[in-house]
Chains A and B, each alone.
Chain A
Amino acid sequence: MPLSSKHLLGLETTPKEDIKLILDTATTFKEVLERPIKRVPTLQGKTVVNLFYENSTRTRISFELAEKRLSADGVNFSVSTSSVSKGETFKDTIKNIEAMKIDMVVVRHSAAGTPLYLTQLCDAHIINAGDGIHEHPTQALLDMYSIREKLGKLEGVKVCIVGDVGHSRVALSNIFGLKTIGAEVSVCGPATMIPRNIQDLGVKVYYNIDEAIQDNDVLNVLRIQLERKARGNFPSLREYHRFYGITNERLEKNGKDILILHPGPINRGVELASEVADGSKQIILQQVTNGVAVRMAVLYLLGTQN
């Protein structure tokens, strides 16, 4: 069964069947990753451009590895967004890349909607690797994969996304994907980090982290982006940690088994205390491993579509 869309732009419009198909396919690829020779010939002869207009280390490496393990030819193209205003337009860049006969583009960009714009400019399959504060679908898929792997299911699981939800593409993709698959989604953070009207998405809002811990099976703890502090969305890291940081004390006080996810990189001592970041409830490194498998699944399902 193929995916219903030619691209993976976001989870807002991705149907349940497609999400399940990606997660199930990722299970197969995870097995490949356990082999001594971690490579299959599935995408031999296919060319994937990793078009990164924004700094990224782990997402780019994860995609690169996924491409290599599927035997695709991956090419990296990194540009700083600032050069856009001076030099070549995005459109011209894309036309140039397309002229080199490529099959897929993995795109990361600081401006929301750029992956959709890309689909209007070229014929390749487009995979969104993060656009502004809009979506980061493969991150949400790997989060969902990791939860399902650990808890055996996603339907009915209570997941709370903690942190700067309003400026997080990880949060939005998780909300869309988890809602579609039938999980219960909530968000927790200081009011300045929760978008207006988020309840309209069918999402519960907590301002109190202890209540969030008590009510939920999973915490997906977002990275506090330190540059946001300059914008005054919260008073200090100290205050954030005191009221929203996940500590062992807080987890024990609320006396509950809970699964902790984090998309990385971690700010130790801010959103996660070190003892939690290294503790038994977190699955942060499994997420990283699963990320490669999930991205292999997406590349495979799109790359073999025609």
Chain B
Amino acid sequence: MKIALKNCQLVHPLQKINKKSNLLLVDGVISKVGNLSAEDLKNAEVFDLKENIVVPGFFDMHVHLREPGREDEETVITGCDAAAVGGFTGIACMPNTEPAIDSAEVISLIKGKAKNHLVEVFPVGAATMERKGEVLSPMAELYDAGAVAFSDDGVAIKTARILKTALEYSLMFNTPIIEHCEDESLAGGSMNEGITSTFLGLPPIPSVAEDLIVMRDILMAEYTGGKVHIAHMSTKKSAQMVREAKAKGLNVTCEVSPHHFTLNEEAVKGYNTNTKMNPPLRTQEDVEAMLEGLKDGTIDCIASDHAPHSLEEKEMEFELAPNGIVGLETQIGLALTELFHKKVLTLEQLIEKFAINPRKILHLPICKFEAGETANLTILDLNEIWSVNTAQFKSKSKNSPFNKRLLKGKAIGVVNKRKMFFQGKNLEL
């Protein structure tokens, strides 16, 4: 099938493209970029994009699909549906499923479920068996089966010894170890430690719990030469340490989640359990450090840490409620509103954080606007003003603190794997 995307603003930071143009896709492959002739348009389904933005497909490298184990909260398919609506053509899913992603079978199961979906799913393997931090997982086997990185996410790799082993072992496949940075002995609280936790009487998590493991991991990356990727970074000190590590040329990358650059700990007042996540919302100073880190390139990617939880699990006393919020369907809107429109990032920088850097970190191909490339695209409307409505989420879970928030800009379509999702409709190409 032939389709024409007319009147696009093509933006591609790697190709240094930012121009008005048209795309012709034949059977999901780019066949022409530029002016389209009458011949080109013959028998083509034409979409007038009205100067909306077309960029390489966005990728979310931190998603919790709850399959296997908690299919009541999210399945591979509902998670992929949410990703497509949210503007993503690929996601990496974290291994804290039940059972954990510590066997090739679980990877096959997940990849099998996602096989026919527009959104590609790349599992992150557990670094250790059952994520317990004791015995290394069969990393080579997981890598062969399709794991793109390794992590004990939910917790940091338990000991320096096993972290060292995992980093050394991962050198063989050049994959990063993704770390949830939190010192176990300081963990377990409900919100960031500070005056607000005192006011609210909530058990605190000190920011130093994150900083300690970030420091450990940077040192270990330096020592082993392995790659460390800091997941959902949230503190000013961590950002500073990563900045210094990068200046030294170490193999350290990091991501930030939209809630950590849009909300501070004061959002917890009122005990809304949708403001409970780990790492917790930090101080305004930390929020500003995240913005600074995004701006100066310290922070490589934006990732949602999409963590679905059922209503009955979140409708609970704050201290007893589980951590995490869903984010796939709000994060591009939040990033465009808070980063692009507020001039923290240029559009090119934003595309780097969402499309280029995550794929580079995970060694995945990046679609170029050239004839012969398989189309893997995200289409953005930068200026649409819309209100978040969790009831309409494709995700099975609705646990978001951003319900009813007014946002400017959203993804209106994605193209990948000979499929297109555009303005709410699915098309086979």
Task: Point out residues on A near B: beta carbons under 8 Å.
Answer: 12, 81, 84-85, 89-91, 109-114, 116-117, 131-135, 166, 169, 172, 195-198, 200-201
Q: Which of A84, A111, A116, A201 contacts B195 (CB 8 A)?
A: A201
Say whether, besides A12-B199, A116-B271, A111 and B315 are in contact (CB < 8 Å). no
Nearest CB on A from B179, distance (A): 26
Closest B residue to A165 by beta carbon equals B198
CB of B194 within 8 A of CB of A197, answer yes
CB of A111 within 8 A of CB of B319, answer yes
Residues facing A in B313-327 (CB within 8 A) are 315-320
Say whether, besides A111-B317, A113-B317, A132 and B194 are in contact (CB < 8 Å). no
Binds A, one of B145-153, B200-208, B287-295, B346-354: B200-208
Say whether, besides A89-B312, A114-B317, A117-B318, A196 and B201 are in contact (CB < 8 Å). no
Closest B residue to A92 by beta carbon equals B312
| Those 8 A-B pairs whose CB atoms lie nearest each other, nearest first | A134-B201, A113-B271, A111-B317, A112-B201, A111-B319, A197-B195, A195-B198, A133-B201
Interface presence of B210 (CB below 8 A): no
CB of A134 within 8 A of CB of B202, answer yes
Residues facing A in B9-49 (CB within 8 A) are none
**B203 contacts which chain A residues (CB < 8 A)?**
132-133
Interface presence of B74 (CB below 8 A): no
Nearest CB on A from B284, distance (A): 14
Say whether, besides A89-B312, A133-B203, A172 and B318 are in contact (CB < 8 Å). no
CB of B202 within 8 A of CB of A113, answer yes
Compute how far the CA of A116 lies from the CA of B199 in the bound complex, rounded to whole angstroms. Answer: 14
Interface presence of B193 (CB below 8 A): yes
Compute how far the CA of A109 lies from the CA of B201 in the bound complex, rounded to whole angstroms. Answer: 12
0/1 per residue, B188-232, Cβ < 8 Å to A? 001001110111111100000000000000000000000000000
CB of B320 within 8 A of CB of A111, answer yes
**B249 contacts which chain A residues (CB < 8 A)?**
none
Q: Which of B195, B199, B271 contacts A117 (CB 8 A)?
A: B271
Nearest CB on B from A95, distance (A): 11
CB of A111 within 8 A of CB of B318, answer yes
**B320 contacts which chain A residues (CB < 8 A)?**
81, 84-85, 111
CB of A196 within 8 A of CB of B271, answer no
**B365 contacts which chain A residues (CB < 8 A)?**
none
Task: Point out residues on B near A: beta carbons under 8 Å.
Answer: 190, 193-195, 197-203, 270-271, 312, 315-320
Given contacts A112-B190, A198-B198, 14 further A-B contacts (CB under 8 A): A84-B320, A89-B315, A91-B312, A110-B319, A112-B200, A112-B201, A112-B271, A113-B317, A113-B318, A117-B271, A131-B201, A133-B202, A195-B197, A196-B198
Among the interface residues A84, A109, A169, A195, which one has the most CB atoms of the partner chain B within 10 A?
Answer: A195
Q: Which of A91, A117, A196 contacts B193 (CB 8 A)?
A: A196
**A196 contacts which chain B residues (CB < 8 A)?**
193-195, 198
CB of B198 within 8 A of CB of A201, answer yes
Q: Which of A90, A132, A197 contacts B201 (CB 8 A)?
A: A132
Compute how far the CA of A201 lies from the CA of B316 in the bound complex, rounded to whole angstroms. Answer: 29
Q: Which of A84, A116, A133, A197 contacts B270 (CB 8 A)?
A: A116
**B197 contacts which chain A residues (CB < 8 A)?**
195
Say whether, besides A89-B316, A113-B317, A117-B271, A132 and B202 are in contact (CB < 8 Å). yes
Nearest CB on A from B185, distance (A): 10
Compute how far the CA of A201 lies from the CA of B197 in the bound complex, rounded to whole angstroms. Answer: 12
Q: Which of A90, A135, A197 contacts B316 (CB 8 A)?
A: A90
Say whether, besides A89-B312, A197-B198, A132 and B193 are in contact (CB < 8 Å). no
Among the interface residues B197, B198, B201, B270, which one has the most CB atoms of the partner chain A within 10 A?
Answer: B201
Say whether, besides A90-B316, A109-B317, A200 and B200 are in contact (CB < 8 Å). no
**A116 contacts which chain B residues (CB < 8 A)?**
270-271
**A134 contacts which chain B residues (CB < 8 A)?**
200-202
CB of B198 within 8 A of CB of A112, answer no
Compute how far the CA of A81 lies from the CA of B312 in the bound complex, rounded to whole angstroms. Answer: 16
Closest A residue to B202 by beta carbon equals A112
**A91 contacts which chain B residues (CB < 8 A)?**
312, 315-316
Q: Which of A81, A113, A201 contacts B200 (CB 8 A)?
A: A113
Closest B residue to A81 by beta carbon equals B320
Compute how far the CA of A201 lies from the CA of B318 in the bound complex, rounded to whole angstroms. Answer: 23
**B312 contacts which chain A residues (CB < 8 A)?**
89, 91
Closest B residue to A113 by beta carbon equals B271
Nearest CB on A from B324, distance (A): 18
**A135 contacts which chain B residues (CB < 8 A)?**
201
Among the interface residues B190, B193, B200, which one has the most CB atoms of the partner chain A within 10 A?
Answer: B200
19 A-B pairs, CB-CB below 8 angstroms?
A89-B312, A91-B312, A109-B317, A111-B320, A112-B190, A112-B201, A112-B318, A112-B319, A113-B201, A113-B202, A113-B318, A113-B319, A114-B318, A131-B201, A133-B202, A134-B202, A135-B201, A195-B197, A201-B199
Compute how far the CA of A60 lies from the CA of B411 in the bound complex, rounded to whole angstroms. Answer: 55
CB of B270 within 8 A of CB of A169, answer no
Compute how far the CA of A306 lies from the CA of B202 in the bound complex, rounded to whole angstroms. Answer: 33
Closest B residue to A200 by beta carbon equals B195
Compute how far the CA of A132 lies from the CA of B191 in the bound complex, rounded to whole angstroms. Answer: 14
Compute how far the CA of A172 lies from the CA of B271 in the bound complex, rounded to whole angstroms. Answer: 17
